[in-house]
Structure 1
């Protein structure tokens, strides 16, 4: 007991000393870029704590105080230099020799602990997503449709003569589990995606990794590993997921080598097995597949939840217009095809507006400055610090987005109609005014897959269900924020009910009758 107390006291002392040194560095950087907040170490700490729980207000106050010019935001991980729209092209077009994106990602997610160092050293998952996987997206549509239909029907439990008329569920939690199951249908196939214990483990990993990484970042290097081990044991870490994937991959690869598998169409796991470097281990391959799982679950569940929270307030005629467009697209293309999904313009517009209005973070294109940056006023951002773009300065610019503080789900579909373009304002299109998927050479490679999955899932929900806020709730739930991340209220409920006025023709676009699916997983 005495040794445990002494060890704990040593860790606490090291943390205090490390925090003091880090904060001292944060208030004494060279370059003359102003730092928002009160002066001194205690002023830095006060602002950093405010940022941790209310980043939007801190950044907004800094933007107003410095009239949109670059300024440093104190955080418990060190200062972050925020840049406005005028610096987009500099950051976007820079190489990693100057503004390094992998280092920023590695630090923010603490990949050496939460995943493994190979994610940065050999990022072949990025190459595979950009090439092989993206080319195969049309072939994934039947599997995504099949699994979304099954998963939604089982989760809501409303179909069939014995099902209830309606059900109230925590929306974010429900969407996270649905997305995890649907994702893994095309990553690992039906065996793992329908394993409830695996889905629970991968969801827990996706939900807790950002929190664990943040807490580890606040600690000195010397105690980061034991802190990670303790936190992952408590909150859920990679080991809980690897115990499912490693034996599954081992067995699958042996059968694949013996050519005893009967595979109708390759899934993402097959592309990774074929595209991994020769030295890759089974556990290393599993970690890269966990990495893409994390990214897709985290992003897609937030977009799905935010979209439904906004759609629930739409007038009935607007929801009807979205549904009608989906039906017309399916009829004209003969079912669920890539061509049909491209014609879901109103749904696509809703998703893009969610990315603009709510987003995922308070900042975009985070980078680690290796060489620094000279600014027009002769000040400079010193090397060895993080830089990022001020997301709201882009997304709420009234010169780009009229009435920017209104969430208009049809904003981009109206622009596409007026300018007669089908690509410029698409959900997965990145440009200088839309940052959720980053930009340049580091634009999110999985955004095309996410667009396909989100459209199918939301379209199925729209065609077959009505949804509403619980009785007595008149406004959409407010988002929660932590350390710059934006997350839908995890406790907020949504009431789903069977659509009594659903047009009969929608059933012909389902892969099978929903009566074949056992409700609530039975």
Structure 2
């Protein structure tokens, strides 16, 4: 039997290798960084990407600036475009050519993690873009109240003594509570098990997605059904949210639009816009967990970095405190007040410029062959992205780019006379943290207001510092193209002394 199988194997292996070589030929006109581009040997470049992905992309940016290059990533080849004209073409490309949605689908393996409906009917995204953003002023008192309560619970001060807090634990819990005050309201946003569920859900989805991404497509439906972590999280979510959904559906059926004390929150908007099978309890629970998935991790990681920079650079506390004190005296706590805190805004934007969440942004998947105006040919099935970290560290764009300058963007706003051009929510081909164009992060307005309110609260309430040498940040690390702050680092808090 073995002898009869061997000739077939000897024929199949070279055939597969030949197929891979022919597939690679479609991209041979694009320079490769990280290692060889030949099949099997390209695995060396993939290993380098996993270990030091940001260095690999930075190397390509320096070498091929103004053009394109490619590297081997988890899901195959990714082509990086570096020039402003090409970035603009990527931004304007039709969704049936270079697709943001299908790229996200591949990264998160959505049909097998969050479900096909989330991919094909993402009705929550227009809600985030419209209702959530439009209601930020109305929602701000609740946001502010939850921030104050959550900080008080997570940072138990003892007189005027310093209290040591692991930033990861405190900030993730505060962000979860604050976000869910706007998503589902009181008292559920303060339920410890519900918050733990939402934090765990992100891990479950990402872990399952990565495992599935390593498999051939034919095995994904089978393995996807065997890996039940996400489904069990949804079951747990149903236990928490079903009574709330049922109560609201009953109210709507009884009173319609004349419901006087109807909540203004994400869950209510989801219920009102849901159609057909999306109007079931389980579907609505999955949808609210998905919104949390998008909100909690990114905002938590972003603010952990902000807190680390604040604690490492105490010389910048007083200028921001003076700004916050002055604005609040004039405006009180409100969204309008946050809009006038330019130094607070600039501090956050500069930290995000230096840290971000990864080495690339604006990722698209080519659904059909695509040719850029400079002649660069992108075959169908190829990922295309922008090197956000390399651009944010480009000396031609940001003088002294490696230095932390907290007033970099507030100074730009003063010089340009622009109210919002260089604010933390604005995007451009030179600042791509949130993407750029019609697919820029729809929740960035909520996220930035949340982070600004949190930073303003810390400035008003606490003194903070690190245990180590002043100016020395806890070391962040890259995993592939993703930047992860030091998750074990501790920050010292005490009651504000001046």
TM-score between both structures, scaled by the size of structure 1: 0.85
Match of 2:69 among 61, 67, 71: 71
Change in CA separation of 1:22 and 1:274 when aligned onto 2, cut-off 3 Å: farther
Quote the Cα distance in structure 2 between the aligned partners of 1:203 and 1:308: 20
Match of 1:313 in 2: 312
Q: What corresponds to 1:512 in structure 2?
A: none
Contact residue 31 and residue 379 of structure 1 kept, 8 A: no
* CA contact 2:311–2:491 (8 Å) conserved in 1: no
Contact 1:70 1:81 in 2 (8 A): yes
Pick aligned residue for 1:199 from 178, 185, 195: 195
Aligned to 2:7: none
Q: Does 1:413 align with 2:427?
A: no
Which sections of structure 2, spanning at least 5 residues, go unmatched?
1-12
In the alignment, is the contact (CA less than 8 A) between 2:434 and 2:444 conserved in 1?
yes
Q: CA deviation at 1:212?
A: 3.0
Q: Do 2:355 and 2:483's aligned partners in 1 also have CA atoms closer than 8 Å?
A: yes
* Contact 1:49–1:76 under 8 Å retained in 2: no
151 and 328 in structure 1: CA distance in 2 versus 1, 3 angstrom threshold? same
Q: Do structure 1's residue 368 and structure 2's residue 365 form an aligned pair? A: yes
Q: CA deviation at 1:169?
A: 2.0
- The aligned residue for residue 6 of structure 2 is none
Counterpart mapping for 1:141-180 below 5 A:
141-158=140-157, 165-180=161-176
Q: Distance in 2 between matches of 1:128 and 1:297?
A: 17
How far has the Cα of 1:189 moved from its partner? 0.9
| Deviations 1:163-197, CA, capped at 9 Å, x for gaps | 67232222123211110111001111112111101
**Closer, same or farther: CA 241–480 of 1 in aligned 2, 3 Å:** farther
Query: Gaps (5+ residues) in structure 1?
Result: 1-15, 502-522
SS in 2 for 1:299: helix
Tell me what 2:4 maps to.
none
**1:105 positional shift:** 0.8
Decide whether the 8 Å contact of 2:102 with 2:364 is kept in 1: yes
Deviates most, 398-407 or 139-148 = 398-407
SS of 2:73's partner is: coil
The number of equivalent residue pairs is 480
Partner of 1:301: 300
- SS of residue paired to 2:494: strand
Name the counterpart of 2:135: 136
Distance in 2, matches of 1:389 and 1:362, equals 9
Matched, 1:453 2:450: yes
Distance 2:213 2:17 in 1: 14
Contact in 2 for aligned 1:157/1:163 (Cα 8 Å): no
**1:71-470 matched pairs, under 5 angstroms:** 71-86=69-84, 87-158=86-157, 165-225=161-221, 227-228=223-224, 233=229, 237-259=233-255, 263=261, 265-280=263-278, 281-316=280-315, 318-333=316-331, 335-375=332-372, 378-470=375-467
2:296 and 2:61 map into 1 onto residues whose CA distance is 32
Q: CA RMSD in A?
A: 2.7
Which has the larger displacement, 239-248 or 430-439?
239-248
Greater mean alpha carbon deviation, residues 178-187 or residues 413-422:
413-422
SS of aligned partner of 1:258 = helix
C-alpha separation between the residues in 2 aligned to 1:26 and 1:142?
Answer: 56
Mapped to 2, the partners of 1:22 and 1:180 lie a distance apart of 48
- Relative to the length of structure 2, the TM-score reads 0.89
Distance 2:75 2:317 in 1: 44
Alpha-carbon distance in structure 1 between the residues aligned to 2:233 and 2:224: 9
Aligned partner of 1:51 in structure 2 is 49
> 1:392 deviation in Å?
2.8
Secondary structure, in 3 states, of the residue corresponding to 2:187? helix
CA distance in 1 between partners of 2:301 and 2:234 (Å)? 21
- Structure 1 residues 229, 474: CA separation in 2 closer, same or farther (over 3 Å shift)? farther
Q: CA deviation at 1:255?
A: 4.0
Q: Distance in 2 between matches of 1:497 and 1:32?
A: 58
Q: Is the 8 A contact 1:187 1:267 kept in 2?
A: yes
